[in-house]
A = this chain, B = another copy of it.
Amino acid sequence: MREVAIIGVGMTKFGELWDKTIRDIFVEAALNAIKDAGVDRIDSMYVGNMTAGLFIGQEHIGALMADYLGMAPIPAMRVESACASGGMALRAGLMEVCSGMSEIVLVGGVEKMWSGADATYALSTAADQEYECYQGITFPGLYALIARSHMHKYGTTRKQLSMVSVKNHHNGSLNPNAQFGRETTIDAVTNATMVADPLTLMDCSPVSDGGACAIICPMDIAKKYTDTPVKILASGAATDTIALHQRKEITDLNAVKVAGEKAYKMAGLSPKDIDLAEVHDCFTIAEICAIEELGFCEKGKAGEFTEKGETGIEGKMPINTSGGLKSKGHPVGATGVAQAVEIVEQLRGNAGKRQVKDAKIGLTQNMGGSGASSVVHIFGVC
């Protein structure tokens, strides 16, 4: 397959952006990426967005963003895979460049969640409406089931879950774009308002507005635009049953495992070759499960691995140096692309106080629903 690189990235600050519409947010992120790449044209664009229809009564997000970016008549398409929409937009753009159809493609994601709409309802549409939501369950409840099961099966502790949040808030305190750029403590997480036992408010990623974009092109022209292209070494995607109760074992996120295996195979790499990763910590337990499925530690041992500090910026396997979804924020359609933004900044050596030493290869894992969709990308410096 054609070799493809990221030559520019950009994002907005994540948070409650009450003074910005969805188009303002996307255009800001896109212009940041275009400026960073220094391109004077875009051939095609992909926009990851989960549910602007429910949040703000607006579908047709691809054409809308092309229009407001001043890019019409270029082709534009919205991609939706729930909270994995951003990662899937990157994958779709990658395939367009690999196909030879286009050269310079903008891949982005955006979500406007602070709109007055019922966020819990809107997000619940990523679960099985007929067999899950109809019974009244929402995402905190689904992930609480996974957490309780993981604690029971593997001995994962409440303190270990809290340490995921503490670590991610620490990293987020070093990220100027983070929604909650401040430290927290084990006690503060553990004793926060209970949302769905055992998950407290501080185990849950927030409701966020935000956008993130990247410019990709064939490797052979990337050097024309930048001295530090970041190569997309692999893309793996997979699905699982949409309903949690239909899985054999709810602590297994099979789509994450399969997507990871596909990506490792495509890149010719194994988990030990990865210098850092951004994983989908929509809830603290999701980070625990993800790093196990991606092979960064043994199955059932991610709690311990976290407690030992191995997932910190200076640990064996730095996870979510950006602050992750928990602290940086989780504008659902943008998250997958924002993960790539962080990896690019790290591989360029531009991550400031969050910088992982000698980072050469990074991975992103973006997930939809309670794991029914997952997409993994691996990136490397050239």
Interface residues, chain A, with chain B CB atoms under 8 Å away: 1-2, 21, 44, 50-51, 53-54, 56-64, 66-67, 71-82, 88, 91-92, 94-96, 98-101, 121-122, 124-130, 133, 235, 237-243, 246, 254-255, 258-259, 368-369, 372-373, 375
Shortest distance from the beta carbon of A134 to any chain B beta carbon, whole Å: 10
In the complex, 12 of the A-B residue pairs with CB atoms within 8 angstroms, ordered by the A residue number, are A51-B59, A53-B53, A57-B121, A59-B82, A59-B125, A63-B239, A63-B373, A67-B372, A75-B91, A75-B237, A95-B99, A98-B100
Partner among B92, B121, B129, B255 whose Cβ is within 8 Å of the Cβ of A56: B129
Partner among B60, B88, B98, B240 whose Cβ is within 8 Å of the Cβ of A72: B240
Give the distance in Å from the alpha carbon of A81 to the alpha carbon of B72 in the complex.
14
Q: Which residues of B contact A96 (CB under 8 A)?
A: 95, 99
Instruction: Count copies of this chain in the complex.
Output: 2
Do B101 and A80 touch across chains, with their CB atoms under 8 A apart?
Answer: no
Give the distance in Å from the alpha carbon of A62 to the alpha carbon of B368 in the complex.
11
12 additional A-B pairs beyond A60-B80, A77-B79, beta carbons within 8 Å, are A1-B100, A51-B53, A54-B59, A60-B82, A61-B80, A62-B373, A66-B239, A67-B243, A73-B239, A73-B255, A74-B239, A95-B98
Q: Which residues of B contact A64 (CB under 8 A)?
A: 128, 242, 372
Known contacts A77-B92, A81-B77, A101-B1; decide if A369 and B238 are in contact (CB<8 Å): no
Chain B residue with the shortest CB-CB distance to A56 = B129
Chain B residue with the shortest CB-CB distance to A241 = B67
Give the distance in Å from the alpha carbon of A267 to the alpha carbon of B56 in the complex.
40
Give the distance in Å from the alpha carbon of A369 to the alpha carbon of B375 in the complex.
30
Shortest distance from the beta carbon of A241 to any chain B beta carbon, whole Å: 5
Q: Which residues of B contact A255 (CB under 8 A)?
A: 72-73
Shortest distance from the beta carbon of A142 to any chain B beta carbon, whole Å: 13
Known contacts A92-B92, A125-B57; decide if A63 and B98 are in contact (CB<8 Å): no
Shortest distance from the beta carbon of A133 to any chain B beta carbon, whole Å: 7
Q: Which residues of B contact A21 (CB under 8 A)?
A: 130
Shortest distance from the beta carbon of A379 to any chain B beta carbon, whole Å: 17
Looking at A100, A101, A133, the one whose CB has the most chain B CB atoms below 10 A away is A101
Chain B residue with the shortest CB-CB distance to A82 = B60
Q: Which residues of B contact A51 (CB under 8 A)?
A: 53, 59
Shortest distance from the beta carbon of A169 to any chain B beta carbon, whole Å: 29
Do A53 and B56 touch across chains, with their CB atoms under 8 A apart?
Answer: no
Do A63 and B100 touch across chains, with their CB atoms under 8 A apart?
Answer: no
Give the distance in Å from the alpha carbon of A78 to the alpha carbon of B375 in the complex.
14
Shortest distance from the beta carbon of A196 to any chain B beta carbon, whole Å: 20
Shortest distance from the beta carbon of A17 to any chain B beta carbon, whole Å: 16
Q: Which residues of B contact A246 (CB under 8 A)?
A: 67
Give the distance in Å from the alpha carbon of A72 to the alpha carbon of B77 in the complex.
24
> Which 8 A-B pairs rank lowest in CB-CB distance, beginning with the nearest?
A98-B99, A75-B237, A63-B372, A60-B82, A59-B125, A73-B238, A95-B99, A72-B239
Do B67 and A242 touch across chains, with their CB atoms under 8 A apart?
Answer: yes
Chain B residue with the shortest CB-CB distance to A54 = B53
Do A368 and B63 touch across chains, with their CB atoms under 8 A apart?
Answer: yes
Q: Which residues of B contact A76 (CB under 8 A)?
A: 81, 239, 373
Q: Which residues of B contact A375 (CB under 8 A)?
A: 75
Q: Which residues of B contact A58 (CB under 8 A)?
A: 125, 129
Q: Which residues of B contact A124 (CB under 8 A)?
A: 57
Chain B residue with the shortest CB-CB distance to A77 = B88
Chain B residue with the shortest CB-CB distance to A237 = B75
Give the distance in Å from the alpha carbon of A99 to the alpha carbon of B97 in the complex.
8
Q: Which residues of B contact A80 (CB under 8 A)?
A: 59-62, 77-80
Looking at A74, A99, A372, the one whose CB has the most chain B CB atoms below 10 A away is A99
